[in-house]
Amino acid sequence: MSSAAAMAQDKPALGGSGAAPAAKISVRPLPGHASTADTSRFPLTYCIALPTITPAEQWEKDYARYQRLLPPEIKKTQLGLDFMAPNGVDTWWCANSASPYAQLDTATRIADAQRLVGEWHGVANRLITHIDSFSIADQKFYRSVAAKDTPGPFTVRFTESKLELKPASLRRNRNHRNYVLLNQRYLLLYGTAKSSGNVSLVGLDPAGRLVFHTSTVVERKVRGQFLTYQTVTRQLICERTP
């Protein structure tokens, strides 16, 4: 990488960028992300809202409408890394994204944080990679999705102010045990300072299951050729333990 800079998450507009169709661009899901997830119970777009890709202008509008939901405390945690890859692709990366391109559906918002309190057991744990690629040649978006299940049991336990995940490897920072639910969907996990916390999006589906999203986003572009948006989401789906 030739240059790097940290910055608050702020996705550039489509104007002037563009993309080759997905089959021609050198953008791949992370290793091992073949579509091996069991979708018999939960489809790959389960509780996920994606921007409309036709017409192309609608993508930007759909993505932008989520920005009004971001509380100030969450915005303070959002830092990304901008760098030029050796192959000339301008890359932007954010490992703790509260504004992924594949969003947790707002229909899952949790009106009362007390509904989180208790123990939940996992029924699905998977890594889902969504890629939207924009082609300047034909002014169209191309979309792909792949997922991989992570086997093994896990539990999520909420008290009034603490979160415990087992196994602990599911939590990005093991020192972040405190939590606060903001704007009915943003779960801020922190240690001593909220500004250095990690963000997940959480919700309850119509059946009362807990849906837990932790996302990394990557944007790649070559001016005049292509622009891609990639969201890699760890999706945990849980049911309340009796």
pLDDT in tens, the chain (242 residues): 344 444 455 554 544 333 333 333 333 333 334 556 678 889 999 999 999 998 888 999 999 999 999 999 999 999 999 999 888 899 999 998 999 999 999 999 999 999 999 999 999 999 999 999 999 888 899 999 999 999 999 999 999 999 998 886 676 555 568 999 999 999 999 988 898 899 999 999 999 999 999 999 999 999 889 999 999 999 999 999 98
Instruction: Tell me the C-alpha distance between 34 and 17, whole Å.
Output: 28
Which domain does 215 fall in, by range? Answer: 4-10+17-22+46-240
Is 148 a member of any domain? yes
What is the pTM (predicted TM-score) of this model? 0.83
* Domain count of the fold of the chain: 1
Coil, strand or helix at 70: coil
How much is the pLDDT for 89? Answer: 92
How much is the pLDDT for 172? Answer: 59
Is 173 a member of any domain? yes
Return the ∠ at Cα 183 (arms to 65 and 171), rounded to 5°.
100
Is 37 a member of any domain? no
Instruction: Tell me the C-alpha distance between 188 and 177, whole Å.
Output: 10
Contacts of 7 (CB under 8 A, 6+ apart): 79, 80, 82
**Are 235 and 43 contacting, i.e. CB atoms less than 8 angstroms apart?**
no
Is 39 a member of any domain? no
Is 99 a member of any domain? yes
Bridge partners (DSSP) of residue 120 are 156, 240
Instruction: Tell me the C-alpha distance between 179 and 26, whole Å.
Output: 38
Cα–Cα distances in angstroms (integers) from residue 241 to residues 109, 123, 133, 154, 214, in the given order: 21, 11, 40, 12, 22
Return the ∠ at Cα 226 (arms to 85 and 86), rounded to 5°.
10
Is 38 a member of any domain? no
How much is the pLDDT for 87? Answer: 83
How much is the pLDDT for 13? Answer: 52
Is 41 a member of any domain? no
How much is the pLDDT for 174? Answer: 59
How much is the pLDDT for 167? Answer: 84
Q: Per this entry, what is the length of the chain?
A: 242
How much is the pLDDT for 138? Answer: 87
Is 236 a member of any domain? yes
